[in-house]
Amino acid sequence: MKIRVLGIASGLPELGLHHSAFYVETKDRNILIDAGEGISQQILKFKLDKNVIDEIYISHLHPDHFSGIFMLIQMLYLQKRTKDLYVYLPEEVEKVKEMFNTMYIFQEKLSYKIFFLKMRKNDNIIPIENTHLKTYRKFTAKVNHKNPLISFSYIINEDKKKIIFTSDIASTEHLTNHISQTGIIFIDAFHPKSKEIIRLSDSFEGDIFLTHSLSEELKLELIQNKRKNIFNANEKDEIIF
Ligand SMILES: [Zn+2]
Ligand SMILES: [Zn+2]
């Protein structure tokens, strides 16, 4: 597997960084996990061909994970992509399709076929639902918004190799049953308690790459308590695993 880190910024934009996006080449297909703002620029920078991405997996609909998809779909059209593109969404498939129509990006007009699908297990790509958006539960109930509040982390398996991308998470609890034999975890370093990330690094053999800007708490923790298997992810990283 080859992983290209394309975006690590969190919800607060930072100069010189792009929002969440990871490009992963597996044996049988190439996928994009998240399509945060700046993804099109990064695709141009790293010279990824218009037909190279087979599938896009969106972890959740926060703009730092999703808003780049509109320009991406338009760019691929203007570049005259021809290959079918599958976009897996955590929720609100029909509303998302409508958002594209509202922006005059009509599926029927594209140079390629695009399929918006509800998230599901897809051979070696396994979504694990997490609780990141559940923190809105009280608020959405109070103001009577109907958001489904669904967000995912992902496992990618290939042969005996296993990688986890958490995207945004409220805690690491949902990973407990999945970390055995995992080689790499790309983890949200901003939202979960730093102690949970440290505990995770102690409880598994592989490496942890921190994305999404470190919380102040985690920065301090790592100064006092360096760990051999915790690294900062960088946008230029290409990891062969
Ligand atoms: Zn985020
Ligand atoms: Zn989020």
Provide the CATH number for the domain around residue 170: 3.60.15.10
Q: How far is the CA of 64 from the centre of ligand 1 (A)?
A: 5
Length of the chain: 241
What ligand has the least distance to the C-alpha of 7?
1
What ligand has the least distance to the C-alpha of 11?
1
Q: How far is the CA of 122 from the centre of ligand 2 (A)?
A: 23
Residues spanned by the domain of 58:
2-240
Q: What is the pLDDT of residue 48?
A: 97
What is d(CA 171, CA 66) in angstroms, rounded to the nearest whole number?
A: 21
What ligand has the least distance to the C-alpha of 132?
2
Is residue 190 within 8 Å of 214, Cβ to Cβ? yes
Q: How far is the CA of 174 from the centre of ligand 1 (A)?
A: 17
Percent helix / strand / coil, the chain, rounded to 5: 30, 25, 45
Rounded mean pLDDT of 76-102?
A: 98
What is d(CA 84, CA 159) in angstroms, rounded to the nearest whole number?
A: 26
Q: How far is the CA of 132 from the centre of ligand 2 (A)?
A: 7
Q: What is the pLDDT of residue 115?
A: 98
Instruction: With a cut of 90, say whether residue 2 has pLDDT above it.
Output: yes
For 62-85, what is the HEC assignment? CHHHHCCHHHHHHHHHHCCCCCCE
Instruction: With a cut of 90, say whether residue 135 has pLDDT above it.
Output: yes
Which tokens belong to 29? 């297909």
Instruction: With a cut of 90, say whether residue 236 has pLDDT above it.
Output: no
Number of structural domains found in the chain: 1
DSSP 8-state code for residue 113 = -
| pTM higher than 0.75 | yes
**Average pLDDT of the residues of the chain:** 96
Q: What is the pLDDT of residue 205?
A: 86
Q: What is the pLDDT of residue 204?
A: 86
Rounded mean pLDDT of 77-104?
A: 98
Q: How far is the CA of 11 from the centre of ligand 2 (A)?
A: 7
Q: How far is the CA of 8 from the centre of ligand 1 (A)?
A: 9
Q: What is the pLDDT of residue 77?
A: 97
Rounded mean pLDDT of 121-125?
A: 91
What is the percentage of the chain residues whose pLDDT exceeds 90? 93
- Which residues, at least 6 apart from 102, have a Cβ–Cβ distance to it below 8 Å? none
Predicted confidence (pLDDT) per residue in 174-208, tens digit: 999 999 899 999 999 999 999 999 999 998 889 99
Instruction: With a cut of 90, say whether residue 57 has pLDDT above it.
Output: yes
Q: What is the pLDDT of residue 173?
A: 94
Q: How far is the CA of 93 from the centre of ligand 2 (A)?
A: 18
Rounded mean pLDDT of 55-66?
A: 98
Predicted confidence (pLDDT) per residue in 26-46, tens digit: 999 999 999 999 999 999 999
Q: How far is the CA of 62 from the centre of ligand 1 (A)?
A: 7
What ligand has the least distance to the C-alpha of 169?
2
Q: How far is the CA of 12 from the centre of ligand 1 (A)?
A: 9
Instruction: With a cut of 90, say whether residue 94 has pLDDT above it.
Output: yes
Q: How far is the CA of 179 from the centre of ligand 2 (A)?
A: 22
Q: How far is the CA of 150 from the centre of ligand 2 (A)?
A: 11
